[in-house]
Amino acid sequence: MSRDPTSFLGDEYSALVQSDLDWKIRTLQGPSTPWCHIDGKKVLMLCSNNYLGLTNHPALKKAAVDAVTTHGAGSGSVRAIAGNMDLHIQLEERLAHFKRAEASLVYQTGYAVNSGLIPQLVGEQDLVVSDELNHGSIIDGVRLSRAERAVYKHADTADLARVLDEAEKHSPQYRRILVITDGVFSMDGDIAPLDEIAKVSGEHGALVYVDDAHGEGVLGEGGRGIVSHFHLDRRQVQIEMGTFSKAFGVVGGHVSGSRDLTNFAYNKSRTWLLSGSHPPAVAAACIAAIDVLENEPERVQTLWRHTRHFKKSMSDLGFDIGKSESPITPIMVGEAEVAKKLSARLFEEGVFALPIVFPMVAKGKARIRTIMNAALTPEDLDFAIGAFGKIGKELAIVAQH
């Protein structure tokens, strides 16, 4: 009798479990709010991407409910056929205005932008130059293209210049060169030197593509993102990708730039062409989120005030917070077992913050990744800081005073 052809599934999962590399997924019971219920326990959420606390904002909830009433539960199709609703058009117009771009195009997810657009921008006669710590969705998008690939050292524009200098000597000459970087790097919280990247790339005639998933709602004027943060324009950064699933508090991906870019994207990206469009409630809630960012700029200010307080307090306690420049603050502990113990003890004390270990980060670089939220109160922050201080001493991560 032949062996079950699906047996490798269980074998590989068992190997992950034995190596303690499997995801142990907890359940959120109710809305993503600062204090929420995880697996039946009330805890302080310190690891969501809900930077501005918009997931439970009354304006977003009302917009979603109203859209279901007026437009139904679903769109009924992909946008290219019969699912292109007026709400989708309104969202793109509002987003382009917010981003100060000529045009924007909304995808089903941020992952769909990177995996669907990158392979269309470059092909066999082209070169992609990517930061070594870019997000997995960028890596997958690059792999799906048939372009040649080069990697430059993380956030190192001198190394980027070296790679581009070598590319200019390539024979035959590349038809097109695309430089890709994350805006805010999700594991370390540092910010790409996009101004320098744009300058070096421009000198070599290369296109610049930035994944600003963790910069929107966080960086720039009123949370407009990394292009705004560095006071760049669309001639310097041609492709700005982002998501609605983080600071905007909903779900979806998008790209902003020239009208030529969005026309190209919706005609060429199969992830856009072959996926059902967002339900009306999602599109309407995203529009409401943009309204909130424009009308409540104090949310971004509060986010940064919390971020500064948390970073200073954790440093004062003796924790290593890496090189973060954003509301993503890694608490570096080194070994995976220590990170897991710290996370488990924090949960017992009422703080939900997950460990990030190999293979998500290099061995010896395990950490607890914390993310600030504008909806937290000063008392919430002090509660979290107190828990970290107590358990950090208990586990000998920081010194006793």
CB atoms within 10 A of CB 351: 24
Q: Is the peptide bond before 172 cis (omega within 30 degrees of 0)?
A: yes
Q: How far apart are CA 113 and CA 94, in angstroms?
A: 19
Tokens coding 170? 């390539």
Q: How far apart are CA 159 and CA 131, in angstroms?
A: 10
Cross-strand partners of 276: 78
Q: How far apart are CA 273 and CA 296, in angstroms?
A: 35
- Identified catalytic residue from 57, 88, 135, 214: 214
CB atoms within 10 A of CB 24: 8
Helices (H), ranges, 72-156: 86-99, 110-121, 136-144
Q: How far apart are CA 17 and CA 366, in angstroms?
A: 18
Q: How far apart are CA 152 and CA 143, in angstroms?
A: 16
CA 333, 335, 340, 341 torsion: positive or negative?
negative
- Identified catalytic residue from 246, 278, 340, 365: 246
Q: How far apart are CA 234 and CA 96, in angstroms?
A: 12
CA Rg value for the chain? 22
Is residue 169 annotated as a catalytic residue, yes or no?
A: no
- Does an H or E element contain 22, and which? none
- Identified catalytic residue from 48, 104, 186, 343: 186
Is residue 115 annotated as a catalytic residue, yes or no?
A: no
The CA angle 135-166-193, to the nearest 5 degrees, is 40
Is residue 186 annotated as a catalytic residue, yes or no?
A: yes
Tokens coding 136? 């997995």
CB atoms within 10 A of CB 302: 19
The CA angle 339-130-225, to the nearest 5 degrees, is 75
Tokens coding 104? 């924007």
Q: How far apart are CA 1 and CA 144, in angstroms?
A: 38
Cβ partners under 8 Å of residue 348, min gap 6: none
Q: How far apart are CA 19 and CA 291, in angstroms?
A: 46
For the annotated catalytic residues, the residue numbers are 186, 214, 246
